[in-house]
Amino acid sequence: MNAIFPTGFTAPTALYLSLFAVTLVLHAVFMHYVLAGSTYLAFGRLMGPRRCAVCGWQSILVDWLPFATGLAITAGVAPLLFVQILHGREFATANLLLSHRWMAILPVLIVCFYLLYLQKSSWLARRRWVWRTVVAALACSGFIFIAWSWTENHLLMLDRDAWAPLYESGALRYASPGVLPRLALWFFSAFPTLAIELVWQGRLLGLDVTRPPAAAEVVLGLSPVRRLALAALSGVAGMTAAGGLYGQTLTAADREALFGPLGGPWLTIAITGLVVQGGTWLAAAFCNRMPHGLGVVTTIGWLATLCGLVAARESIRLVHVDIATLAERHATAASISGFPVFLTCAALTVIAIVWCVVAVRAGLAR
């Protein structure tokens, strides 16, 4: 593995690795919005009804979180299929070992989905404020549980030495020193994503962040841009700390893949993007607005960080699989000729999503 991810492999393997990484990034775009957005709402509800009414970001999140959850689920189908092609044995084994605890993510996801719709209902609006706080907290807790379950499953996939003892013990939980720091790393990475997405979404919905804020928009002494800057910078700081802690739990082989030719360039891209995001959000907080050019630079830094993280993540996972067996399996899968069907379905899905966004925007305008 002396070539940068995903090169250095056979053509079918490189193709599947590339498609998996691209679709996972797309899933993360929506998943981060849901995870960080539900957390933002849960903590925002503690400010009380008057301050929440002033915060335009909370009203946007209440309206859009159910739709974003649907997008996250839809976008998650493709990487879920590709991970079974790439790491079918490891993924299936981790699923079976975690058993009912792993399958619990499905009912939890369904409950969270309905809680998001309940959160924007007129029925809940007529109830006491405490119930809106409870609903927001339950939805947030559910999404954090799902994130924790995926983190636990991923690390169990990589730890073959733990498979037999876990099966013999009958336990439904995988205890590893890497679970919490890795969960924290991906949890905090959601907040810079949410912040830059809200910048562009706010502009589309009439919240212009390119101008100085009005006094009526200030909540707890913070303007809309500074509230987003606080969320983004907290995410950057949290990612930095959690990444350092997670790095200490990696094996020597993991570190070699992460810092070597396979994942090293991508890790550099991720860190560079993180520095760019930190600098641009500090500038936005200082000038109390997000000009268009600064928003573009921040978006580029965010994309660099997200793509770099996903590629570095897969570089570590490739250390724990038999590449020769993978190559044979992928060559067989590539000969089935289902790729045109996949491209057709992907194009139809993108068209449907774009149509939904355009239709909702037109409805809001009317």
**Residuewise pLDDT in 10s, the chain (366 residues):** 678 999 888 888 898 999 999 999 999 999 999 999 999 999 999 888 887 877 889 999 999 999 999 999 999 999 999 998 888 889 999 999 998 889 999 999 999 999 999 999 989 988 898 999 999 999 999 999 999 999 999 999 999 999 999 999 888 889 899 999 999 999 999 999 999 999 999 888 888 787 777 765 777 778 889 999 999 999 999 999 999 999 999 999 999 999 999 999 999 999 999 999 999 999 999 999 999 999 999 999 999 999 999 999 999 999 888 877 788 888 887 777 677 887 888 889 889 989 988 898 888 777
| Helix, strand, coil distribution of the chain in percent, nearest 5 | 85, 0, 15
Contacts of 69 (CB under 8 A, 6+ apart): 30, 34, 112, 113, 116
Global pTM? 0.91
The answer to whether the beta carbons of residues 52 and 129 sit under 8 Å apart is no
